[in-house]
Structure formats: C-alpha cells, structure tokens
A and B are shown apart, each in its own frame.
Chain A
C-alpha cells in the first residue's frame, strides 16, 4: 500500500515554498470535517512538519509541537487526531477506503515526533483496486481488464497444454465427421437427380445408396462415441488437476487468506468452479471445433453451389445475433435472480435447522414457518415469471433460426419450377440450411458459456496465483528446536488499523511454563498464533533458540509443536487415526502409551470398538472431556518441544478437568509451554504469568508476585474467588 501518494501540482508547489524537506508520508482524505465527500483534502508529512492541504490553502504544524498523532477508528470511518499541549485536535476524517493507509501514516508520524527519522513505516498491505481503471484486483493482483498479458487465455492454454494430443485427435475427428455429413447430402442429391427423378435406377443402385448411407451413419456414430469418450476423459482429467492444485494451494496459504474468505466460497471454488470448467471442456470446447468447422464448410459449400440461396439462408443471422445480444443479458439476470432467491431459501433453512432447539424452546415454529413460506412464495414467483419468459423467448428464437430455411424453400422451389435448379439440389440446400441451425443456435449460447468458464477460471486462478503471506526464506533451517523463545517488541493486527498486539517483549527459557491471562479480545490467542507462526508479526521479531522464526522451515517447525485447543476438533475417522494425525507412522505401542499419559486409554478400552471407534460427524459421540483427552494424546504422540494450551480445560466439568489437568501436567514436563486459561487455578503451576491488557503486557511474574502486586491479576483472582464462593453463601 502506497503511504506516500503524489500531491496535486498546486500543493506540491506550496510544499516546496514552505519547506526544504521532502515528503515522507502523504494520504488523501475523502471526507471533509463537515462529513461530506471531498477530493481536495491531503495530509502530507516531512521530517519536520505536518501539512494539511485543503480548499487551495494549507495549515502547517511543526512536528516538535505535537505530542502525539493517532488514527482513531470510528463507525465506518476514521479520524486523525493530534495532541498539542494535552489537548486533542481533530486533523482529518476519511472513509474505510483510506483507514489502513492513515493507520500506517499515523504510526510513521509518531516515529518522526519521537525523532526516529531513520525508520520508515512500510505497509505490506496490497492496494485493493487497479490504479488505472478502479476495478477490484483479485488475489493475483493483476487487473482483469487492464492486464495486457491476456491472463485468461494464458491460463486456459496452461490447463489445456498437457492434453494437446487428445485435443488434436478430437479436431481431426470433427473434420472427418463434418466431411461425412456434407458428403451425405451430395449422395442424396445424386440419388434424387440421378435415379429417382428420371426413374432410371435399379435395385442395385438403391442397395448401393443404402450401403453408402449406412457407412456414413455408422462411421459418424463411431466417431461421435470415440469423441465423446475422449472429451469426457479430457474434462474429468482437467477438473481433477485443478481440484488437486486448488486443494494443495489452500493448504499452503496462510490463515490470513483463509480468514478473509468465506469457507463456502472456497468450497465452491474447489468443487463448483472446477466442475464448470470440466463441463465447458467436455461439452463446449470439444464441440467448438466441430461447430466452427461445420459452419465454415457449410458456408463455403453453399456459396459455391448457389450464392443467392446461400445469402437467403443467412439473411436472418444478423437478427438472431442482435436478439441474442439483447436477450442473453436479460436471461442471465433473471436466472441469477432465481439463484439468489434459491440461495436465500437455503440460508434460511440452514439457519433454522441449526437453531431448531431455540426455535422449539421459544415456541416460534409458526413464525419461522411463516417466514420460510414467504421466501418460498417469493422464489416461486420468480421461477414462474422466468419460465413464462422462456416459453415465449425460445419459440421466437427457434422461428428466427428456421426462417432462413423457409425462404430457401420458397426461392429454391421457384428456381426448380423454372428449371434453374434440380430438385436434388434443392433438397441438398434445404438440408444444409437446416444443418446451419445447429452451429448458429449453438453459437448464440457460446458467449455466455465462455463468460461462465472464464469467470470460473478467474476464480480458480485467483486462489492458485495468490501469493502466500507467510513467505519462506530461500534457505530455511530444518533442525530440532530446544524451546527457548524470545518475543522482541512484537506488533501485530489482523487488520492493520487495529493492532491486537502492540509491542510485547518476553524471554522464555526452554521448559518454562508461561500462563497468559487477560480479558476477551486482549490478544492472548493472537500471541500463541504468532508463536505457532500461523501469522507473521507486523513489526518486531520472534526468536526461537536465537534464530528468527521466519528462518525456520515452516513445516519442520510446525511438526515440533503440540497444540491442545478449547474446541477440540476430531476428524471423521477412528480414534487411532485421530491420535496418529501428526505422526502417521507411530506404532500401536506409541499410541497406547500416549493415550495412557493423556488419561484416555481407560475410556477408549471401554468403547466397544476400542481404538477403532469411528468418531467425528456421524460417528460415536464422545463427551467434551473425552475428546479433549484424545487431542492431548495426539499432542503427546508428536513429542513436541513447544506446547500450546489454549483454554484447554474451560469447557469441562470438574472431574474431567481434574483428569485433563493431570494429563497436561505430565505432557508439559520438559517442554516450553504457553497456556491460556480463564480459570486461573489452571495456571497455578506456571513459572510465570503474563497479563495482557490493552494489547500490551501489563504485568508479568509468578502467581505470588502478581498477587502481592495487587494489580490486574489480583483483581481477576479476587473476582473468580467471589464467583466460586457465591454458591456456598447461598
């Protein structure tokens, strides 16, 4: 993201007159202080001054007179505030479009105020729209319109390249097929004019004619069959390739990418879009050669035979093209509307079925049924209206397509009567003009099919060409880690304008257990996400055994982590497979040993299918505590050097918690452990506890030290003490 945009010439001139410094940061504000849109409002910063350019004039602030400059998020907008002599001054207002930019610029100004002139704030965020045409840029960062590289064609060539030979075979077969179809009509003409009209034919002639037709029909059928198999295989192979590539890419991409996208949208790209490309390859692309070859061959042959009749056959073509151009966008629109309405019904159904218990408990069945019926009626209306349109539109299109043939029958018939044309020739011509209908009507669908395919292709390549946020260095380190971790002034925010972690530093020795506490949303889970390198820090660094976390091979590093989360996720499969998830080659003995240490062996043995019990969706229902113990066994089996426990016991009853606490205590021996817990009793064994408040480390020390300090931690302990005492008092 550009944090130093060019000022308009008028303001550049003023800047030059006012200062010798060059501009360090510059951004355009799109809202004036009265709350209206503007295109004439700039904040520009040099090493020493802050300029506000507006309405052909300017205001200048010396940076040394400012105590602080910050971006303040508002509702769907942001404001820039400066503090001068303890008083907050409103400098600018901007929409969400410019919020990130100003959040970075404010950080840059603050550094300059603190006389840190050497450090330049740089934004790794991407511009969202094309600078030339203003269109939204996809993940590829190439504008679909302005990019001169014809990316769609390039991508299409890429997916077809491995299949050039089958495609060539299809093309040759199509040409043979078309030649046979055209030739068949010549045979007919010869049969009518040579034998039927003069009535000179013999039975042998009829038999030969029959054999010729049979040969053409059988050959055409065989060609069609072979072509069908090749095209089918081609489409399936291409979609298989794309699905695998997409799946691998999604696995590779960072959580930032996954979080930005709706899971449903990604699923649709892997299944729906690849399937659409398959359908295009199978039904349209392979056919396309044939249709073009037929159209060209027919046109040429018809023009050679009788150019006047040929023109008559084409006279309605412009009308067909014009009506198709008018009607297709409308057809597209009405069908999309139907699809949207259908989607609404689905969403409503999903909503109500997921919350069916709430609906029943509140006795809202009738209300929900009424709402659903309304949506259903709405959908039915749209569907009926669309069907009505099609019932009118299609016969009209068919009539236009066939109109050329009617004209040929009239004009040709006259020629035959005048002796200018033989009856056989007329039959041949009428047949050709009917054959013309196929490619013509097929081509009227072509633009729509191509658009559908290119949209899917774009969406697929939007993911495939996405650059991973977490970039791996060229020579990454693969080595066993010990577990010394150092957080050095780390800054991170899921959105650049909302830092979740704001300058936290901490040194952790191997084997140490660090408890992390703080209110919801304070950034506890974010810290461990950064330690797990699910995200990269925006500023500062994380060192593991003295080496920057970014220098490690990410897969190798992840293999050395053990994670137990609050929401235990078990994959559909057996308990054995779930425990062996991180180490598929673990022996049965290893698995039982891990389960025993996780206090899971006992309950697993009591299940009828033991370790082979199928769990997950539609599988055996395990309690929260049981699932948790399996996830602990999964973490133990991997023998991790760093252990992450994120609210691992918060959703459990006391007995389960005791068993899990015990298991976790065993698990953490000799490993560097980071544990987040709401229940502070869980952290009594922690070597140190870090209290996160206001995105910063507010307190750190042992349990006793923090209690003595009587700060935030003390308050939290007391509040929990009161909660646990309340029932006793009753």
Chain B
C-alpha cells in the first residue's frame, strides 16, 4: 500500500479522534432552531442545516436544562453539539426545545396515589400524574423501583414505562404506607 496515502489516512483518523473529543457548544450566537411543518425542529449552525434534530438530555433526572446533546435523528444519532444551558436561549426557542424534549421523554410524575392492589406477584397502581390519571402494573420482584436520590424515586412498570415520584415528602402518610413495601 502507498505509504503516503496511508499516512494521510492516519492523519485524518487522528483529526477525527480530536474532533470526537471536542465539545461543540451550541449557543444563541451559533445555533438557530426552527419549528418544522411536521412538528419537529430544524437546526442551522455554522453554515450547516439539519432538517430535523433530536435532543438528548444528558442528566434527565438531575439537571434537565443543562448539557442537552443535540443529535441527528437517524439510528447512528451523531452528536452535532451540546447546549450547555437551555435558558441562555430566547423564550421562543426555549419553548420550541422544551416541546421537542416533551415529545422525546415520557416519564409522568406521580402526584397522588389512589390505590395499590397486589395480586399474584404484581402490584396494580392507580395514580394521578402530571399527565393525567393512570393505571399501571408493576412486578413486585426486585428491579421495579430505583432511587435517583434518597427522596426521588423511579418506578418501572411491566411495559417498561417509567414514573417519577419527585419527592417522597410530598406524599401523605397514607400514600407513603402504600408504597412503603416497594421502595
């Protein structure tokens, strides 16, 4: 193989690696997000235009508005850049981006627990969430609940939907008693 050509390739590879390690911050100065007709969001940045982009929260439970990774929408989902702080953008852009993230993420927050009935190894929950009333089924075996922090709990149902209890202190004693067994 041609040694010169090989060297060129190695140089390109090195540059690619350096490119991969670099964090490309998207700011109001270098990024312009627009609503698309189809209900998604496009991005214009550094003379490049992306018809549709996806938003991946890097800290979805602890810091929703920081370090949002903006990626291409295909299977490879290559990163285009990172929004360090969503609030740095104007109100309209924040609204558009929040709508997109609401489309991508669906983790209802449990506000009220009506009942939990246990039968045959499954717990049947009836709750009120910020997305409306809901009934779901959780396996009573291990792995159905996880704690983000001491008071912040995640619950996974049998279909792999997830629900959040933002703060256990917000629940009544009666409600706490109901979930006591599972957390």
Contacts and interface: CB of A to CB of B under 8 A. Distances in A.
B122 A136 contact: yes
Interface in A31-53: 31, 33-38
Contact of A265 (B129, B132, B141, B157): B141
A665 interface: no
A455 interface: yes
B28 interface: no
B170 to A, nearest CB: 20
Contacts of B76: 694
B37 interface: yes
Contact of A76 (B39, B73, B107): B107
Given A36-B132, A90-B39, A144-B120, A74 B103 contact: yes
Name the prevailing secondary structure of the B interface residues: loop
A262 interface: yes
B181 A95 contact: no
A159 B60 CA distance: 51
Contacts of B106: 31, 35, 74-77, 93, 95
B37 A455 contact: no
A355 to B, nearest CB: 18
B121 A459 contact: yes
Nearest to B75: A694
A337 B181 contact: yes
A340 interface: yes
B71 interface: no
B4 to A, nearest CB: 14
A722 interface: yes
Contacts of B105: 74-77
Interface stretch (B19-27, B62-70, B80-88, B159-167): B159-167
Given A37-B134, A144-B120, A337-B181, A136 B158 contact: yes
Contacts of A718: 6, 9-10, 13
Given A694-B75, A718-B13, A37 B132 contact: yes
B44 interface: no
B152 interface: no
B68 to A, nearest CB: 13
Interface of B: 6, 9-10, 13-14, 36-40, 51-52, 60, 73, 75-76, 102-108, 119-122, 124, 129, 131-135, 137, 141-143, 157-162, 180-181
The winner among B122, B124, B159, B162 for most chain A CB atoms within 10 A is B159
A446 interface: no
Contacts of B160: 76, 96
A138 B158 contact: no
B102 to A, nearest CB: 5
Contact of B120 (A262, A455, A719): A455
A642 B21 CA distance: 43
Contacts of A135: 119-120, 122, 124, 137
A35 B102 contact: yes
26 contacts: A35-B131, A37-B129, A74-B104, A75-B104, A75-B105, A77-B106, A77-B161, A88-B51, A89-B38, A95-B106, A95-B159, A96-B157, A97-B159, A97-B161, A128-B159, A134-B124, A135-B119, A136-B120, A336-B181, A337-B180, A337-B181, A455-B120, A458-B120, A695-B75, A719-B13, A722-B13
Contacts of B73: 72, 88
Given A35-B102, A455-B121, A87 B36 contact: yes
Nearest to B135: A134
A262 B105 CA distance: 27
A202 to B, nearest CB: 66
Nearest to A90: B39
A715 B130 CA distance: 48
A36 B10 CA distance: 51
Contacts, number: 118
A129 interface: yes
Contacts of B162: 76
A459 B129 CA distance: 32
Given A76-B105, A144-B119, 20 more contacts: A31-B131, A33-B103, A34-B102, A35-B102, A74-B103, A74-B105, A76-B161, A81-B38, A87-B51, A88-B73, A90-B40, A129-B137, A134-B137, A135-B119, A136-B158, A138-B120, A337-B180, A695-B75, A718-B10, A725-B10
Contacts of B75: 694-695
B36 A35 contact: no
Nearest to B120: A144
Nearest to A458: B120
Interface size class of A (residues with CB under 8 A): 35 or more
10 closest A-B pairs by beta carbon, nearest first, are A90-B39, A77-B106, A37-B132, A89-B38, A96-B159, A97-B159, A96-B161, A35-B102, A75-B105, A96-B160
B38 A87 contact: yes
B19 to A, nearest CB: 14
Contacts of A695: 75
Nearest to A99: B159
A632 interface: no
B137 A343 contact: no
Interface in A76-111: 76-77, 79, 81, 84, 87-90, 93, 95-97, 99
Contacts of B10: 718, 721-722, 725
Contacts of A97: 159, 161
B181 A88 contact: no
A77 B162 CA distance: 10
Contacts of B142: 262, 343, 347
Nearest to B183: A340
Given A35-B106, A77-B106, A138-B120, A721 B6 contact: yes
A90 B10 CA distance: 42
A416 B119 CA distance: 53
A96 B134 CA distance: 14
B83 to A, nearest CB: 17
Contacts of A679: none
B62 to A, nearest CB: 15
Nearest to A710: B9
Given A337-B180, A337-B181, A90 B103 contact: yes
Nearest to B156: A76
A343 B142 CA distance: 9
Contacts of B134: 37
Contact of A89 (B9, B37, B108, B133): B37
A306 B146 CA distance: 62
A333 interface: yes
B55 to A, nearest CB: 11
A222 B77 CA distance: 77
A340 B181 contact: yes
A135 B131 CA distance: 23
A262 B134 CA distance: 28
B130 to A, nearest CB: 9
Nearest to B162: A76
B103 A93 contact: yes
B163 to A, nearest CB: 9
Nearest to B37: A87
